[in-house]
Amino acid sequence: MRNYSRFIPGEEIDAVEQWQFGAIDTAAQLLAAQVKAREMQEEEVQLESDRQQAYKDGFTAGMEHGKQQAQSELQMQMQAFISNQAQEAADKLAELFESAQRELLAAEQAMAQGVLALSCELARQMLRHELTINTEVVMPVLTEAIGLLGSEFKTAVVKMNPLDIAALGEQIQADFAALNVSLRADPDVLQGGCLLESAGTVVDGTVQKRWQRAVATLGLTSNWEVPGEPA
């Protein structure tokens, strides 16, 4: 083995190759490739981050849209529920009002019937008193009853209370001299009333009958005589 301190012999030059700077270029390319790879990695990371953000944004937007839609549907359902409740409340209120109106009308009718019945009772009491102190009240009744017989009837049997005949017998005979009137005392005929019979025709002018006809025109049924009441 030779010792080469400064020079290489010519016969050995052929075995030596010229040194190229390719290694430096390769290092630079490697560095550039690494930089490029890093950039691509960073871009991939950024893309992935962008995708993740887009996914998050889409998810958030979807959630917000779903939330708004759900709120809208909920509001619509609540509005429909409130409307239904309001309609049901209105129907119930109308039903209650109609029921109250019916009850009020029934109460008014009952009150009116009560007032009318009371008025009739007061009138009955006043008439009873008037008939006992004024015997003349029977004369218009007798005149009307004889008028109902007609001119073809020449005789009549007149039943009256004994007290009325005692007080008015002569006057009756004088006032109705053209008609053969036969007066008959009948205690069942109350004072102020009379009962006429002529040729099979009967004209009932008793107090009881006249009272029943009067109250019937008012839509009532009320007896003149009350059980247990003094005569």
Here the CATH number for the domain that contains residue 153 is 3.30.2320.30
The pLDDT, as a whole number, for residue 32 is 75
Look up the pTM and report it.
Answer: 0.52
Per-residue pLDDT, 180: 86
Domain interval for residue 175: 135-216
Portion of the chain with pLDDT greater than 70, in percent: 85
Maximum CA extent, the chain: 201
Q: Are strands 180-185 and 155-160 parallel, antiparallel or unpaired?
A: parallel
- The answer to whether residues 152 and 119 belong to one domain is no
pLDDT band at 10; cut points 50, 70, 90? low
Residue 37 confidence (pLDDT): 76
As for how many domains the chain has, the answer is 2
Query: Are the C-beta atoms of 156 and 180 separated by less than 8 Å?
Result: yes
- The reply to whether 160 and 126 lie within a common domain is no
Judgement on whether residues 112 and 153 belong to the same structural domain of the protein: no
Mark whether 186 and 204 lie in a shared domain.
yes
Flag whether 87 is in a domain.
Answer: yes
Q: In terms of Cα–Cα distance, which of 207, 155, 171, 213 is closest to 186?
A: 207
Same domain, 194 and 126: no
Domain assignment present for residue 209? The answer is: yes
For the stretch 92-135, pLDDT in tens is 889 888 898 899 888 888 888 788 778 878 888 888 888 888 88
The answer to whether residues 209 and 140 belong to one domain is yes
Nearest to 182 by CA among 168, 196, 161: 196
Same-domain pairing of 178 and 120: no
Residues 187 and 209 in one domain: yes
